[in-house]
Amino acid sequence: MILTVTLNTALDITYRVGSLRPHASHRVSEVTERPGGKGVNVARVLAALGHEVTVTGFTGGATGRVVQERLAAVPGVADALVPVSGATRRTIAVVDEQTGDTTQLNEPGPMVTPTEWSAFQEAYEDLLPSASAVALCGSLPPGVPVGAYAGLVRTARAAGVPVLLDTSGEALRRGVAARPDIIKPNADELAELTGSHEPLRATQDARRRGAGAVVASLGPEGLLAATREGRWRATPPTSVRGNPTGAGDSAVAGLLSGLVAHLTWPDRLARAVALSAATVLAPVAGEFDRATYEELLGRVTVTGEASAA
């Protein structure tokens, strides 16, 4: 079982309008709802790849009940969310059908009390013995300590479970110091962490700060990885145009899938890039077509070298 942690789960709501104009009323042509938050998105992709996944984090209120109802309909995903008194947040995406642009509105999430945070930590410790890997993903809701991910990384490492961290800002800075096995920042998050805008230098610096491996997302240019085993660059076969929503979460799923399958780093990176590209090409944001993914997988380019023994 792969465990994904989403402390700030969400109900993702997408509105489609013909043309988005400020200070105007709009007729919505389509509304979609689905459970969200980065770790939930990762779990959905992993389940589509055939992995058994457990989702944990917080859920509360009427919105939280809808999230859990929708999760129950996803094959291969088990719900281990911890209840809180506050309401799960909503994220609102408004898609302009004329331009293809998306405007995003993200609520902050429920206030988590110290008692609720303690209950989550106990649930997390109980889940770890059954986990082959754990992903810690996304933002922290109000009330959760900024060093929360650092503590969760240390708990996973003490249990002998490899851990991937995908967050940003101070939560990432503190989390890296706890020595996660993998971090997956994008270029901006990596620059904020290290102060360097040169990706190769920044990945090496992030490793010196404590990460076992750093896999930096460079958007349409693919992934750059600095690991104990070597350094590699993985790029998609062609320039991929489409909706990038969820592409980073698909890359995380690819890295975790490759980790538990004991693939080499080049093969893990190829899987992550192919999944990310297939997600960009999909007509529904955050989803992917299996046939497209498999076709892309054989055409991803991975260059680099292994470290000397």
> H or E segment at 17?
strand 10-17
Which pTM was predicted?
0.91
Among 78-92, 107-121, 194-208, the least confident range: 194-208
- 210, 188 Cβ separation under 8 angstroms: no
Residues 152-170 have pLDDT tens digits of 999 999 999 999 999 999 9
Mean predicted lDDT score pLDDT of the chain: 91
pLDDT digits (tens, 9 = 90+) for 223-241: 999 999 999 999 988 777 6
Mean pLDDT, rounded, for 26-47: 90
Say whether pLDDT at 242 is over 70: no
Q: Look at the alpha carbons of 178, 179, 180, 182 in this order and tell me if their dihedral is positive or negative.
A: positive
pLDDT in tens, 107-166: 899 999 999 999 999 999 999 999 999 999 999 999 999 999 999 999 999 999 999 999
- pLDDT band of residue 243 (cuts 50, 70, 90) is low
Measured in whole angstroms, how far is the alpha carbon of residue 301 from the centre of its chain? 23
Predicted confidence band at 105 (pLDDT cuts at 50, 70, 90)?
Answer: confident
pLDDT of residue 50: 94
By annotation, the residues acting in catalysis are 249
- 3-class DSSP string for 174-239: HHHHCCCCEECCEHHHHHHHHCCCCHHHHHHHHHHCCCCEEEEECHHHCEEEECCCEEEEEECCCC
Would you place residue 75 in the very low, low, confident or very high pLDDT band (cuts 50, 70, 90)?
very high
pLDDT tens-place string over residues 245-270? 778 899 999 999 999 999 999 999 99
Of 167, 115, 172, residue with least CA distance to 143: 115
Q: Give me the mean pLDDT over the 31-58 stretch.
A: 93
- 197 pLDDT higher than 90: no
What are residue 16's DSSP bridge partners?
30, 95
